Amino acid sequence: MSNPLIAPRSPGWWRSAVIYQVYPRSFADSNGDGIGDLPGITARLDYIAGLGVDVLWISPFFTSPMKDFGYDVSDYCNVDPLFGTLADLDALIARAHQLGLRVMIDQVLSHSSDAHPWFAESRASRDNPKADWYVWADPQADGTPPNNWMAVFGGSSWQWDTQRRQYYLHNFLSSQPDLNFHCVAVQDAHLASLRFWLERGVDDFRLDACNFHFHDQQLRSNPPASKRDTSTVTDVNPYGMQAHVYDKTRPENLAFLVRLRALLDAFGAVAVGEVGADDSLAVMAQYTAGGDKLQLAYSFNLLTPECSAAHIREQITQFGERVADGWAAWPIGNHDSIRVMTRWGGTQPSPALAKVLLAMQLSLRGTPCLYQGDELALTEADVPFEQLQDPYGITFWPAFKGRDGCRTPMPWQADVAHAGFSTGQPWLPVAPEHARCAVDVQDADPASPLNFARHILAWRRTQPQLALGQIAFFDAPEPVLALRRALAGSPTIIAAFNLGDTPVTFDWPALHDSRVLDGHGLTGAVNGTTMTLPAFGGWFGTLDGEAG
């Protein structure tokens, strides 16, 4: 039952693929209402395909009150009118397939909107057919919540409901009640909605917060964290002060993922599971091991402020050691994180940083996930408080400004109103510095980050070692990341990336038997076994006579 509209791919194709994430509200607006939509994406599919990526991942476009901008779903089998219609999605899928792109859509299964009919029925009484479709609990004797669980977006994860006179669980906003996956009917309903999209032509899924599906049925309180979670803003958000052993990442989820994989296999589909956990590498290993659960696990480990070569090396090495037959999806930017150019490059980063980061990302063992605009070297936009949309940022302002700065509109044309994103007032402002980085400006500059991205993505396709080879790292001084990729039957590739803003020279014995690998667009200077890398420079070579 694989999709007949797109050419079949070899088993495991996703290991060498590149995924490109589109945040639909901010990609392209076709009707002038200031909000990006599905026809806007369709009109720009040639641009996406022209980058040289394989999979288009579209963040949620389902019917929603938009309190969390689509991650609060009120109808899992329809398109919100803001984004278009089911027919618009059909047209998008058909055009993407013509261009050789697979279409991956976000699925938010752990929670729904409180506007979903399922929740309206569940809260109506304690004995209706959907009474146990959500997580309900009685208060403690003093009226306080059942335990100490906290919401990612702040405060208790329990909300009192006056209709049922019980608390319901919400791991995110109070308007996002958690579904009860211990109820098999909930699992069945979600699998049915996944089937709906697969039968409509969707190829693959990205599973949001996929380790939040189950909770501890005894409702035991979480203990304090021995090591605070670095994926949340722990200095202003107490969520990271708990060890989240009972409110998420429960062992029952593995059986559900096996059920989900059976459905995926029937359609030749792939799922990427977002894993945010206290020990995310361990969970990624569980969720991708054995070939009967998820194909890929989406990691937050390179979405942190830490950008040292040692940190990157540690994450990749530990994943390889702990995951065995599993596979990772490695993003360095997404719709929830400060843009990588600012997060790793500071307030005025060099455009060269975007080039070396992409080259590095494409050289790691795992599937790269690129975020819209990073190919343009966009920095984090400074959105003033009065224009903030993100409830996360509004709650924790000013210590944490939320996620709006990485979600501002894509700049298409520098000299057009709103950088060509929309003819109307955009839902978030277009940063002036982004307009100067617009696609039309970079199209005309052979040395632009955009043209570099197109070039190196095409070059990577000719180097299977970078997609499938085993990885090992060399000792090198900070901030240099030096590695090798070895694949049977192909020359071993070695590479070095200077992640810093000053030149670095170091002795690299591996250069004794190497030669430069041309065609990638990065240059370093080699003198014997001495490597000199310019600021934000890189180098690729092969080891003479050595095949993986």
Please give the residue range of the domain that contains residue 498: 469-547
Is the same domain home to 416 and 440? yes
Same domain? 498 vs 445:
no
Same domain, residue pair 299 and 193: yes
Cα 146–Cα 152–Cα 157 angle in degrees, nearest 5: 20
Task: Tell me, yes or no, whether 316 and 344 share the same domain.
Answer: yes
Residue 134 lies in a domain: no
The number of distinct structural domains making up the chain is 2
Position 237 in a domain = yes
For residue 206, the surrounding DSSP H or E stretch is strand 204-207
Separation of alpha carbons 316 and 333, rounded Å: 17
446 plus 483 within the same structural domain: no
Considering 401, 425, 460, which residue would you say is the last residue of a domain?
460
Q: What are phi and psi of 392, to 5 degrees?
A: -65, -45
Q: Which of 412, 428, 460 is the last residue of a domain?
A: 460
Same-domain check for residues 490 and 390: no
Tell me the C-alpha to C-alpha distance, in Å, between residue 263 and each of 102, 194, 256, 290: 18, 8, 11, 16
- Which pLDDT belongs to residue 546? 66
Residue 32 counted as domain residue: yes
Q: Is the model's pLDDT at 230 over the cut of 90?
A: no
Based on the domain organization, do 452 and 478 belong to the same domain? Answer: no
Are 34 and 71 in the same domain?
yes
pLDDT at residue 227 greater than cutoff 90: no
Positions annotated as catalytic residues are 208, 274
- Tell how strand 504-507 and strand 514-516 pair up: unpaired
Q: Are 112 and 67 in contact (CB under 8 A)?
A: no
Query: Which residues, 6 or more positions from 225, have their beta carbon under 8 angstroms from its beta carbon?
Result: 240, 241, 242, 243, 278
Q: Do both 309 and 386 map to the same domain?
A: yes
Same domain membership, residue 350 and residue 253: yes
Do 212 and 302 share a domain, yes or no?
yes
Diameter of the chain by CA atoms?
78
**pLDDT 10s digits, 101-157:** 999 999 999 999 999 999 999 999 999 999 999 999 999 999 999 999 999 999 999
Structure-token pair, residue 147 = 């335990």
Q: Supply the CATH number for residue 527's domain.
A: 2.60.40.1180
Please indicate, yes or no, if residue 396 is contained in any of the structural domains: yes
Interhelix angle 351-361/449-460, rounded to 10 degrees, is: 10
Residue 128 in any domain: the answer is no
Tell me what the pLDDT averaged over the chain comes to: 95
Q: Residue count of the chain, please give it.
A: 548
Same domain, 250 and 334: yes
Selected residue with higher pLDDT from 540 and 9: 540
Would you say residue 267 lies in a domain?
Answer: yes
Q: pLDDT digits over 436-456, tens only? A: 999 999 999 999 999 999 999
Dist. CA 297–CA 502, nearest whole Å: 34
At 11 the pLDDT is 82
Span 500-521, pLDDT tens digits: 999 999 999 999 989 999 889 8
Query: Average pLDDT of 294-304?
Result: 94
The pLDDT value given to residue 540: 97
- Check which CATH number belongs to the domain holding 332 and give it: 3.20.20.80
147 within some domain = no
Q: Residue 190 above 90 pLDDT? A: yes
Residue 247: the pLDDT is 98
Most confidently predicted of 4-8, 205-209, 231-235: 205-209
Mark which of 460, 490, 519 sits at the end of a domain: 460
Assigned domain for 135 exists = no
| Paired tokens of 455 | 């070039």
